[in-house]
Amino acid sequence: MYIIAKDGSGDFTSIQAAIDCVPGGGIAPAILLVRMGDYSERVIVNKDNVRLIGEARDRTVIAHSACARDKNPDGTEKGTFLSFTMLVTGHNVEIENLTIRNDAGDGEQVGQAVALYAAGDRCVVRNCRLIAHQDTLFCGPTMPKVEREIAPRKSTAECVDSVGDSPLTHSRLYFEDCFIQGDVDFVFGPYRSWFERCTLHMLARGGYYTAANTSAEQPFGLVFHRCRLTGECGDGQAYLGRPWRKFARTLFLHCFMDACVAPQGFADWDAERVVTERCGEYATEGARADLSFRHPGEKRLTDWEARCVTLPQVIGGWDHWRPDRRVPTWFLCGDSTMADYPEKDAPMTGWGQQLQALLGEEAYVENCARCGRSSKSFVAEKRLAFIELCLRKGDRLIVSFGHNDEKPDPERHTDPRVTFPEYLGMYIDAARRQGAEPVLATPIARRRFDENGRLIPTHGAYPDALRQTAIYRGVRLVDLEKATMDAFRQAGVEGTKKIFCHLPAGSAHAPAGLADDSHLQRDGATLVAVLFLKALRGFEAEEEA
- State residue 27's pLDDT score: 81
Closest alpha carbon to 469 in 519, 513, 416 = 416
CA 481 distance to own-chain centroid: 33
What pLDDT is recorded for position 368?
97
Amino acid letter, 511: P
| C-alpha to C-alpha distance for 191 and 122, rounded to whole angstroms | 11
The Cα 65–Cα 109 span in angstroms is 13
CB of 12 within 8 A of CB of 53?
Answer: no
DSSP sequence for 344-368: GGTT---GGGGHHHHHTTSSEEEE-
Tell me the whole-structure pTM to 2 decimals: 0.92
According to DSSP, residue 472 is labeled: H
pLDDT confidence of residue 508: 78
**Which one, of 229, 216, 143, 147, lies nearest residue 186 by Cα?**
229
In Å, how far are 56, 347, 354 from 344, measured between CA atoms?
Answer: 37, 9, 17
Domain ranges of the chain: 2-316, 329-544
Q: What is the DSSP string of 282-342?
A: ES-EETT---TTS-TTSEE--HHHHHT--HIIIIITTTT--TTSPPPEEEEEE-TTTS---
Q: Which CATH number fits domain 2-316: 2.160.20.10, 3.90.1150.10, 3.30.1370.60, 3.40.50.2300?
A: 2.160.20.10
Contact by Cβ (8 Å): 173, 147: no
The helix or strand, by DSSP H or E, that contains position 439, with its residue range, turns out to be: strand 437-441
Q: What is the pLDDT of residues 176-197, one digit of tens each?
A: 999 999 999 999 999 999 999 9
- Return the CA Rg of the chain: 27
Spatial contact of 33 and 387, defined as CB atoms under 8 Å apart: no
Phi, psi of 201 (to 5 degrees): -115, 115
> What would the DSSP string read from start to end of 61-100?
EEEE---TTPBPTTS-B--GGG--SEEE-SSSEEEES-EE
Burial of 13 (0-12, 13-18, 19+ CB in 10 A): middle
Say if CB 336 and CB 400 are below 8 A apart.
no
Q: What pairs with residue 37 in β-bridges?
A: 60
Residue 534 CB-density burial (10 A; 0-12 exposed, 13-18 middle, 19+ buried):
exposed
Q: How far is CA 523 from CA 222, 230, 354, 363, 513, in A?
A: 49, 58, 9, 22, 18
CB neighbours (10 Å) of residue 318? Answer: 6
- Give the C-alpha separation, 46 to 53, whole Å: 16
Biggest CA-to-CA distance, the chain: 94
The reported pLDDT for the residue numbered 447 is: 95
Q: What class is the 329-544 domain?
A: alpha beta
Stretches where the chain sits below pLDDT 50 are 545
For residue 398, the cross-strand partners are: 332, 439
Q: Give me the amino acid identity at 366.
A: E
- Which amino acid, residue 111? G
Q: How many CA atoms lie within 13 A of 407 on its CB side?
A: 15
What gap in Å lies between CA 193 and CA 210, rounded to an integer? 12
